[in-house]
């Protein structure tokens, strides 16, 4: 008799997390070894509360629409089950005759799945636990990049390009602008702001990734140089920038923690805006890209949606092949043209870990050529839009 499969979405959404969900469902429906397909409403909370919906009645037309819809269709959560809640999860899965558990999430979600897989092995349950990676932060170890990053990176790069044009146009009155981007403690999204800036160009663009300390004196010096050269400047800073002592940069007002224990931003963008206006006596605007980085589904980035869909399908294939306690990984083949290989890595190597931007990708306040080469194929579909823009006279 065919066994059931359950799938859920967890953590912050990405522009393509639903594409991964569509991939899981499509592959599950194509497998005769899989019977009922259940969706967990709001991640693992749905399984705890038995808030499940049947997905095996969805048709191809719906899955195609789902594949191109941002947000998390099943509902997401930021919830780490207590140890005492893991056994009830296993019991519910056993009652439903579910042997395949697929969770779409990042490093914290990987920890939930890893703990569930360990308990299932200890109890002798025939449960196959697989994770599908997702995060716009691109900070998961064991892979070249994560589904969701390419679209978010292209969005950040396009916003930066547009804001540079606006800043240049208004340079007589408002010559400075600070842009705060997401990324938690890794600088992948921060560096992406320079993806459409040509090497050696005169763009007055300063990138401050969290892997390097944000020092006020250095910022003031570099901005003053940019103003002298171009008459305007745009600064891009990560939401979790730190100073040389490892302290969060910002005022730190009303900082809260989510269910996974992560602090909200301390407001480094507002800090830099105040610093520049106070010390340089120059008007500065602040842009916080915020949630739009997670949900802006650019129609040009088919690559990201296709890879997310393929990761969902591959998770089902791995589960049916007997694998458990693993996460799907995307690895780039070293030769040109751009190609990826789907594989897997143990969840323990991914759970609660962060992959920083490599030092070789950083060159002061300008991303190195190695980073530009790495990111180029991921955002290539959006580049023509940036190149059609005419610079202000």
- Give dist(CA 252, CA 164) in Å, integer: 28
The pLDDT of residue 387: 86
Question: Token pair for residue 5?
Answer: 């499969």
pLDDT digits (tens, 9 = 90+) for 255-289: 555 555 545 557 899 999 999 999 999 999 999 99
What gap in Å lies between CA 35 and CA 169, rounded to an integer? 60
Match 């997670």 to its residue by tokens.
Answer: 294
Tell me the mean pLDDT in the region 83-91.
97
Q: Which residue has the tokens 């969900």?
A: 21
For the question of whether the overall pTM of this predicted structure is more than 0.85, the answer is yes
| pLDDT score for 141 | 96
Region 176-201 average pLDDT: 91
- Of the candidates 148, 125, 213, the one whose C-alpha atom is nearest the C-alpha of residue 17 is 148
How does pLDDT run across 342-381, given as a tens digit for each residue? 999 999 999 989 999 999 999 999 999 999 999 999 999 9
| Contact predicate 46/103, CB 8 Å | no
**Contacts with 287 (C-beta within 8 Å, 6 or more apart), sequence order:** 159, 163, 177, 178, 179, 180, 269
**pLDDT in the model for residue 195:** 96
Between 130 and 364, whose confidence is greater? 130
**CB atoms < 10 A from the CB of 310, how many?**
19
> For residues 76 and 292, is the Cβ–Cβ distance under 8 A?
no
Q: Is the pLDDT of residue 391 over 80?
A: no
pLDDT of residue 250: 83
Considering only residues 385 and 144, tell me which one the structure prediction assigns the higher pLDDT.
Answer: 144
The model's pLDDT over 193-217, given as tens digits with 9 standing for 90+, comes to 999 987 667 789 999 999 999 999 9
What pLDDT does 258 receive? 53
Overall average pLDDT of the 61-82 stretch: 96
Model confidence pLDDT, tens digit, residues 111-125: 999 999 999 999 999
Residue 259: its pLDDT value, please?
55
- Top pLDDT among 298 and 238 is at 238
CB 304 within 8 A of CB 138: no
- The residues facing 37 across adjacent strands are 5
CATH class of 151-295+355-387: alpha beta
Catalytically active residues are 137
Q: Which residues are registered as beta bridge partners of 236?
A: 179, 207
> Residue 72 has which token pair?
């998390």
364 to 138, 218, 219, 221: CA distances (angstroms): 21, 10, 11, 13
What is the CATH T-level fold of the domain 3-147+298-349, as seen in this structure?
Rossmann fold (3.40.50)
Averaged pLDDT for residues 377-391: 89
pLDDT digits (tens, 9 = 90+) for 36-59: 999 999 999 999 999 999 999 999
Residue percentage of the chain with pLDDT more than 90: 84
In the chain, residues under CATH classification 3.40.50.450 are 3-147+298-349
Query: Mean pLDDT over all residues of the chain?
Result: 93
Cα separation, 214 vs 218, in Å, equals 8
CA neighbor of 382 nearest in space, from 168, 161, 191: 161
Place of tokens 């395949």: 100
Does the structure show a pLDDT above 90 at 21? yes
What distance in Å separates the CA atoms of residue 312 and residue 22, rounded to the nearest whole number? 7
Q: In the chain, where does the domain assigned CATH 3.40.50.460 lie?
A: 151-295+355-387
Residues 6, 347: Cα–Cα separation, whole Å: 18
């Amino acid at each position: 008799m065919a066994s059931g499969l359950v799938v859920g979405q967890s953590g912050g959404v990405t522009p393509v997390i639903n594409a991964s969900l569509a991939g899981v469902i499509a592959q599950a429906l194509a497998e005769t070894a899989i019977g009922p397909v259940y969706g967990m409403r709001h991640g693992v909370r749905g399984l705890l509360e038995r808030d499940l919906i049947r997905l095996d009645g969805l048709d191809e037309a719906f899955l195609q629409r789902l594949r191109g819809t941002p947000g998390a269709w099943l509902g997401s959560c930021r919830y780490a089950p207590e140890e005492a809640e893991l056994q009830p999860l296993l019991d519910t899965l056993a009652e439903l005759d579910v042997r395949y558990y697929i969770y779409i999430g990042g490093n914290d979600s990987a920890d939930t799945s890893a703990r569930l897989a360990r308990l299932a092995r200890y109890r002798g349950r025939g449960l196959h636990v697989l994770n599908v990676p997702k995060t716009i932060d691109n900070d998961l170890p064991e892979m070249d990049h994560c589904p969701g990053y390419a679209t978010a990176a292209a969005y950040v790069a396009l916003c930066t390009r547009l804001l540079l044009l606006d800043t240049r146009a208004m340079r007589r009155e408002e010559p400075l602008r600070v842009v705060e981007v997401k990324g938690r403690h890794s600088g992948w999204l921060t560096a992406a702001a320079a993806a459409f800036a040509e090497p050696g160009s005169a763009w007055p663009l300063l990138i401050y990734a969290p892997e390097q300390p944000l020092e006020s004196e250095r910022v003031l010096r570099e901005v003053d140089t940019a103003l002298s050269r171009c008459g305007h400047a745009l600064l891009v800073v990560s939401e979790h920038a730190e100073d040389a002592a490892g302290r969060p940069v910002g005022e730190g007002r009303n900082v809260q923690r989510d269910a996974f224990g992560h602090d909200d931003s301390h407001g480094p963008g507002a800090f830099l805006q105040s610093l520049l206006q106070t010390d340089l006596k120059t008007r500065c605007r602040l842009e916080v890209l915020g949630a739009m980085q997670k949900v802006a589904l650019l129609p040009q980035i088919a690559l990201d949606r296709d890879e997310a869909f393929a990761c969902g399908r591959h998770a089902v294939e791995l589960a049916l092949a007997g694998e458990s306690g693993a996460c799907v990984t995307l690895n780039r083949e070293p030769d040109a043209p751009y190609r990826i290989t789907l594989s897997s890595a143990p969840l323990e190597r991914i759970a609660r870990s962060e992959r920083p931007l490599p030092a070789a990708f950083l060159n002061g306040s300008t991303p190195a050529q190695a980073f530009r080469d790495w990111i180029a194929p991921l955002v290539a579909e959006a580049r023509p839009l940036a190149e059609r823009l005419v610079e202000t006279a």
